[in-house]
Amino acid sequence: MSRFKESTSTEKLLDLIRNKKIGTVDQTSHVLSDVSPQKKESKSVVFNNILSGKDTVSIGVDIGHECLRLVKTARSSDKNRVFLGYKIIPYTHIASKKSPEFADFIKSELLKFFGTDRKVSIWANMSAARVNVRHLRIPNVPKKQIENAIAWAIKRETPFDYKDTTLDFEILGEISEDNISKLYAVAYTAPKDEITEIKTLFSKIDLQLNGISITPFALQNILKTVQIPAFEGTVACLFIGNDFSRIDIYAHGQLVMTRGIRAGTNSMVEALMDDISEEMDDRERFNKTEGSNAAVLSKEIRKALSSLSPDSVPLEENDIGFNLTEEEKFKAIALSLERIVRQVERTFEYYTANLKYERIERIYVSTVMNVYMPIVKYVGDQLGMESDILDPLKFQLPNFKSLAGNASVSDRVALTPALGLALSDNDYTPNLLFRYKDKEKLAGTLRITNAVFALLMLIAVPCGGVFLYQNSTINKNKVIVSQLEKQMLQYKPFVDKGLISNIITSSKEKQLIAGEYRKKYLPMAVISELTSLIPENIRLINLKADLGSLEPGKELLKNNHNNKLSKEKAEKNLTLEGLVLGDEYTLESSLAALIMKLDESPMFGQISIKQNSIKPLKENKVLHFMIEMEIMDYQ
């Protein structure tokens, strides 16, 4: 009977480790043993004053199974990333991630971490277990058909439904395959319910979420922004989780393959539990473990496993597994670890043999437990390559020593996903909130904006030229005005509006006086002009002059239509009657010569012959004429 009871208790523990229900035990209370009482205190290092308020701060949020990890970075003036701080907060008082207390906890910790005085970009992590990442070669189809081609390529291997799955992709470039041009793309599908759950969480706490990504892409961010010497060439990153492990392969900083492995630390816990149950004293404790006590025992076994790490709290004498040596514990989990390594090895063979990619040179190993270097070394030895932990914080990241230098290696490794998220950018990070279609819409908007800007520049250039020309002209005119003003200052008396008005008045008076003289002496001027023009063979017998006169009241009048001053002119006419003497045959020519002289005179105009006839006078013949002309009046 005791044998039966022992087997039953062990099965219950195995079921608990595999996350099966035992009675009414709440599964959310499972906590890894590497979080000791001392480690349950939150760890935080923040340095807020090294950047100006204008810099954009990026926050990486890694909502893990047992704790919240936050990393803060910012882009400096030289466009490099600056590490500002980190924070690790265990869920010591949270019953469930779906409870209102959890949302309040996330909001409170985020506000404490970055405050409210900066522009913040928040990126959150989601589980990669249900995210299917594929690298595809598709026909070089038009842009509108790319999504359908990628969806069809994925559905051939892993069918999905758009109702509950999100599809996104990125075109990496064009390649030639058998002399046929194809598009090389990375595509991934993700469950909508998990995305909605994260979006809802941040919506509840009134914080804008800028992006959602997964750990493989977060590591890719690190490769693109942090210079890690060992990352040259092709490397792999192995993460050993509880039930699920993941192998990611990166070629020259670009994620080229990711694969999930259905094995993890739970199988190691099972193997260690079998070894512990072999001890007599512990067997008695196993036989008595039922119901809710099984959950406590499961945590103790995990604590025994995680005690392998120097960063974990050592076991005490009353703890399960205290009597086991480090070598015995590692030997107990070696077979489970071997199964994971074989899965990784087959993945590498498929990568190099089937996909014809370069050989993988190095592997980085991390687990849900604290860092235990013998596991890292064992994986590398079994695969025949160099192995190490992934600790990017110590590689050429400014301010690392001042902000995270005192953090343990395990803490720094655990911060890697959050650090990768804090280094995210829509230009190179796949974002489940900003997919390919959104990027195309933004690109279209930018194209329109750039076109409008270019048009405005085309308009602004000639307008600027006109402005410069006018400005130059204005400056020249200002110089001329300045010179004229200097010249005016030299005149004495000084010329002003009053002086000019007086000069105009005086000029008008002089014009009026001159007009009076002209009117008075006009008859004498007419007679004098005629005397000088008429030859001796022409005799005037009559002279009639109509010099005209201004009627009373008709002086300078103002024109009501154009507001200009005008003066009504009186017509002045002159009538000459006379005889042309001399040879009969030269009479006409003599008269013509007279008319020409009169026409050339500035005093006469509009000459017309009213009468022209030959008449006898005594024994000779004379030419009798009558001429009318206008006396020109110059005022």
Domains annotated for the chain, with CATH where assigned, are 517-631 (3.30.70)
Q: Which residues of the chain have pLDDT under 70?
A: 1-55, 116-118, 227, 229-231, 278-295, 395-405, 492-495, 549-570, 634-635
In the chain, what are the helix, strand and coil shares in percent, each to the nearest 5? 45, 25, 30
CB burial string 11-35: b at 16+ within 10 A, e below: ebbbebbeeeebeebeeeebbbbbb
> Tell me, what's the pLDDT at 35?
36
Q: Dihedral through CA 438, CA 69, CA 399, CA 394, nearest 10?
A: -100
For residues 71 and 418, the answer to whether their CB atoms sit within 8 Å is: yes
With vertex at residue 10, the alpha carbon angle to CA 9 and CA 11, rounded to the nearest 5 degrees, is 90
E-strand stretches of 347-388: 362-367, 386-388
- 3 state DSSP class of 193: helix
Rounded to whole angstroms, how far apart are CA atoms 219 and 416?
A: 7
CA distances from 31 to 4, 104, 128, 394 (A): 29, 21, 20, 28
- 3 state DSSP class of 14: helix
Closest C-alpha to 389, from 380, 398, 397, 381: 380
For tokens 């489970």, the residue is 336
Q: Is the peptide bond before 493 cis (omega within 30 degrees of 0)?
A: yes
CA neighbours within 13 Å on the CB side: how many for 436?
19
With vertex at residue 339, the alpha carbon angle to CA 334 and CA 340, rounded to the nearest 5 degrees, is 95
**Polymer length in residues for the chain:** 635
> Tell me, what's the pLDDT at 397?
58
Rounded to whole angstroms, how far apart are CA atoms 579 and 542?
A: 10
Q: Which residues contact 59 (CB under 8 A, 6 or more apart)?
A: 70, 71, 72, 110, 113, 114, 120, 121, 122, 123, 422
Strand order in the sheet with 67-75: 43-46, 81-90, 67-75, 57-63, 120-125, 211-213
Work out the number of other CB atoms within 10 angstroms of the CB of residue 419.
Answer: 28
> Tell me, what's the pLDDT at 50?
40
pLDDT tens, residue by residue, 519-549: 888 888 888 888 888 898 888 899 898 877 6
Q: What is the DSSP string of 440-460?
A: HHHHHHHHHHHHHHHHHHHHH
User: Quick one: DSSP state of residue 351?
Assistant: I
Q: Which residues contact 110 (CB under 8 A, 6 or more apart)?
A: 59, 61, 70, 122, 205, 207
Helix/strand/coil (H/E/C) assignment for every residue in 566-606: ECCCCCCEEEEEEEECCCHHHHHHHHHHHHHHHHHCCCEEE
> Tell me, what's the pLDDT at 294?
63
- For the chain, give the mean pLDDT: 81
Closest C-alpha to 547, from 520, 528, 566: 520
- 3 state DSSP class of 116: coil
Work out the number of other CB atoms within 10 angstroms of the CB of residue 130.
Answer: 15
Closest C-alpha to 311, from 233, 389, 246: 389
